[in-house]
Amino acid sequence: MKSTACMIALISITGRIKRLEIVAVTWQMWATMGIIAIAVFLYFREKFSIESISVGIIVAFLIFFHFFAPANPANPSEPLGGLDSKALLSGFAAPALIAIMALLVVGQGMYHTGALEGPILRINNALEKRPRRTLGIVFLIAFAVSMFMNNTPVVVMFIPVLTAMALRMRSAASYYMMPLSFICILAGMTTLIGSSTNLLVNDKSIEITNTEMLSFFTQFPPGIILASVGAIYILIFAPILLPARKSLENEVSEAGRQYIAQIAITHNHPLRGAKPRAGLYPALKDVTVRMIQRGEASLLPPFEDALEPDDILIVAATRKSLSTLLASDKQYLKGMLSIAGFHDESRGDGSSDTIVISEAIIAPGSRMVGRNIEQIGFRRQTGTLVLGIQRRTRMIRSRMLDIRLEAGDVLLLFGYERNMSHLRNNRDLLLLDWSTTELPDIRKSMAARLIFAGTIITAALGILPIEIAAIAGALAMLATGCLNIRQAVRALDMRIFLLIGAAFTMSVALQNTGAAAFLAQHTVDAFLPLGNLALISALFLMIALMTNIISNAATALIFAPIAINIAHQTQDIASLSDIPTDQGIPTIVMVLTVIFAANCCFATPIAYQTNLLVMGPGRYKFADFVKFGVPLVFIIWLTFCLMAPMLIEYYNDPAI
């Protein structure tokens, strides 16, 4: 064993001399590493915006290599190729970046149409009977969806679900928010499109090696093992290490903001035939039925009759309860619309215009005072529908449309965003702009689900490349009205776009100046005498540390060429050895090392955007992520190190 280590060290030294003749050490190489070090420092400090830093990096490299491009060793009178503006800006045309942007649009379509709202709400309704099993199902769904979808909208969709579940179980939301983010990140390790990091590393490896090493499910076997180990850690230690902090929703209750609203029971309404229990309707949770208008008769509680078509329910509910009803089934939406004849001609600019809910106050001296909504012709004048009326002075038991408005009444309005924005200039109403929120247009949810499934299936089966399948899916979302152009453009996060473009620029500079080979060479020299496992282990820890300081996308693109160079150098050393058992590290193993290590963004809230999303609802501090996330990083690192020898042996098998 000792002689083998000495032999490896000797071969490493002789190999180093050989490679130093190939990798020319130039001052431009040192300048490249210096610029990247400054970039990492600026990203970490967050003194300037990510967009500004990214653009600054790109401009710095463009100017630097325009004036100081290193000479071509083969022809010193010519500059070295691969460092011109075309090469440095090639990241903006990279298939991986295009696929990431297109998948963001597809994910936005799923979010905007509430494609997951129905299943989630049905699961949430089972919470009272089997709380722990239901909670586990919710996390399993979040995990499964995150395997095939950008996890940012997934976390956005599940935050309110888990907050509501925490309230019902009388538990702290802080026990669930950070696990939600981490579970979605772990799920992203399992498929090629599970994380933007995976796509970027795959694209960079293809560019360097001219070989497509990763298919859709190549990383699934090791990825699901890492994710399972991480999930077990989360399950056991979340109640122990996470703080018990009440959410803001617990402290600031909306219980006092009850609106009077109406629900019309249509012939195919989900409430048709609903029977009361103990005088109440169990199907209408968090909603109080104050009266049922059946023809000319007015039925008061306690109720005894099943609901029939053409019944109009006068209910008291919070804004959140009404929004949840509208998002749970399209027939609720149609029932609301049918009350005042609100049809699609009020949309504004097309079938995919954004549906929003907002609030407005009846202004003092308003012409609406003393008149009801029908007399005003509110829908005809404003293009919006009044969902509810809130009045603090007394309880109202009459049809909403018969209520005569008073100054100070708060109207809960429903309509298309363009029509809602016109109310800003209405002198009879004071529109509360801050209260305007989008409502999922669940009438398009089935189309969104089919498009999403089609995108995933065509990419997974290799029918189309991922970037083409993603672009086709994004186009289908637009064509079917699940999104309009403005909403699709809004999904294209400029921070991600510029950050990835800058990361590609840094990666190209590292590769083409020889800095990547130089760093790989010294990493190999330092750790290879200790064995391949020590080399992989050291690289994994370096990447995992960096990904928690700067973006995981930038980390992955910086280290991808370094890791591939390390793999090539270990293979060269192994080919020089006379010992039959000596094996180099397969390139695909190093690519997987970069992918899994770059996805270990658990230790800081700034490491990944989903960590930032859950920080507010969970009321976490920076130290909470360190306390709960750092052990998870080391557990994933240790698990991967245990798997690494098996991966090396598997991919070194000539039959593979």
Please tell me the number of Cα atoms within 13 Å of 365 on its side-chain side: 2
Above 70 in pLDDT, residue 172? yes
The arithmetic mean of pLDDT across residues 410-417, rounded, is: 82
Contact 458, 464 (CB under 8 A): yes
Write the Ramachandran bin of 560: left for phi over 0, alpha for psi from -120 to 50, otherwise beta. alpha
Q: What is the predicted pLDDT for the residue at 277? A: 79
Gap between the terminal Cα atoms of the chain: 28
Look at 3-17, 164-178, 605-619 and tell me which has the smallest mean pLDDT.
Answer: 3-17
Above 60 in pLDDT, residue 311? yes
- Pair of tokens at residue 112: 């905007």
Look at 115-124, 360-369, 423-432 and tell me which has the smallest mean pLDDT.
Answer: 115-124
| Rounded-to-integer distance, Cα 189 and Cα 203, Å | 16
Q: What is the predicted pLDDT for the residue at 345? A: 42
Q: What is the predicted pLDDT for the residue at 190? A: 93
Contacts of 553 (CB under 8 A, 6+ apart): 196, 197, 200, 496, 499, 500, 503, 598
**Among the residues of 383-462, which ranges form H helices?**
417-422, 445-460
**Highest-pLDDT range among 56-60, 64-68, 212-216, 509-513:** 56-60
Q: What is the predicted pLDDT for the residue at 453? A: 85
Q: What is the predicted pLDDT for the residue at 181? A: 92
The arithmetic mean of pLDDT across residues 222-238, rounded, is: 94
**C-alpha closest to that of 554 among 565, 543, 563, 540:** 543
Contact 267, 309 (CB under 8 A): yes
Question: Looking at the DSSP assignment, which residues form a beta bridge with residue 313?
Answer: 263, 292
Above 70 in pLDDT, residue 52? yes
The arithmetic mean of pLDDT across residues 191-211, rounded, is: 86
**C-alpha closest to that of 404 among 352, 436, 362:** 362
The owner of tokens 């010519």 is 78
**Highest-pLDDT range among 83-92, 126-135, 509-518:** 83-92
Contact 57, 505 (CB under 8 A): yes
Q: What is the predicted pLDDT for the residue at 300? A: 77
The arithmetic mean of pLDDT across residues 262-282, rounded, is: 78
DSSP letters of 497-551?
Answer: HHHHHHHHHHHHHHHHTTHHHHHHHHHHHHHGGG-HHHHHHHHHHHHHHHHTTS-
Residue of 283 and 633 predicted with greater confidence? 633
**Highest-pLDDT range among 147-151, 161-165, 425-429, 540-544:** 540-544
Above 80 in pLDDT, residue 472? yes
**Highest-pLDDT range among 399-403, 429-433, 525-529, 639-643:** 639-643
Residue of 551 and 3 predicted with greater confidence? 551
| Rounded-to-integer distance, Cα 531 and Cα 288, Å | 69
Give the orientation angle of helix 494-512 with respect to helix 515-527, to 10 degrees: 70
| Rounded-to-integer distance, Cα 510 and Cα 63, Å | 16
The confidence band for 196, taking pLDDT boundaries of 50, 70 and 90, is confident
The DSSP call for residue 406 is -
Measured over the CA atoms of residue 351, residue 323, residue 377 and residue 338, the dihedral's sign is positive
pLDDT in tens, 312-360: 888 877 777 777 777 666 666 665 555 544 544 444 444 446 778 888 8
**Among the residues of 196-241, which ranges form H helices?**
196-209, 220-241
The arithmetic mean of pLDDT across residues 520-532, rounded, is: 80
Above 70 in pLDDT, residue 581? no
The confidence band for 3, taking pLDDT boundaries of 50, 70 and 90, is very low
Q: What percent of the chain has pLDDT over 70?
A: 82
Please tell me the number of Cα atoms within 13 Å of 94 on its side-chain side: 31
Q: What is the predicted pLDDT for the residue at 597? A: 94
Domains of the chain: 1-23+80-253+448-656 (no CATH), 355-440 (3.30.70.1450)
Q: What is the predicted pLDDT for the residue at 255? A: 43
The DSSP call for residue 441 is -
Above 60 in pLDDT, residue 91? yes
Above 80 in pLDDT, residue 473? yes
Residue of 360 and 385 predicted with greater confidence? 360
pLDDT in tens, 276-285: 877 778 777 7
Q: What is the predicted pLDDT for the residue at 18? A: 40
The confidence band for 267, taking pLDDT boundaries of 50, 70 and 90, is confident
Q: What is the predicted pLDDT for the residue at 637? A: 96
Above 50 in pLDDT, residue 12? no
Q: What is the predicted pLDDT for the residue at 592? A: 95
Give the orientation angle of helix 587-598 with respect to helix 622-651, to 10 degrees: 170
Q: What percent of the chain has pLDDT over 90?
A: 15
Look at 27-31, 275-279, 310-314, 403-407 and tell me which has the smallest mean pLDDT.
Answer: 275-279
Q: What is the predicted pLDDT for the residue at 20? A: 36
Above 80 in pLDDT, residue 111? no
Residue of 433 and 448 predicted with greater confidence? 448
AA identity, residue 300: L
The arithmetic mean of pLDDT across residues 543-562, rounded, is: 82
The confidence band for 120, taking pLDDT boundaries of 50, 70 and 90, is low
The DSSP call for residue 306 is P
The arithmetic mean of pLDDT across residues 631-654, rounded, is: 91
| Rounded-to-integer distance, Cα 253 and Cα 118, Å | 25
The owner of tokens 């999104």 is 483
pLDDT in tens, 127-153: 666 667 778 888 998 899 889 877 777
Measured over the CA atoms of residue 325, residue 327, residue 331 and residue 334, the dihedral's sign is positive
Q: How does the average pLDDT of the chain come out, rounded?
A: 79
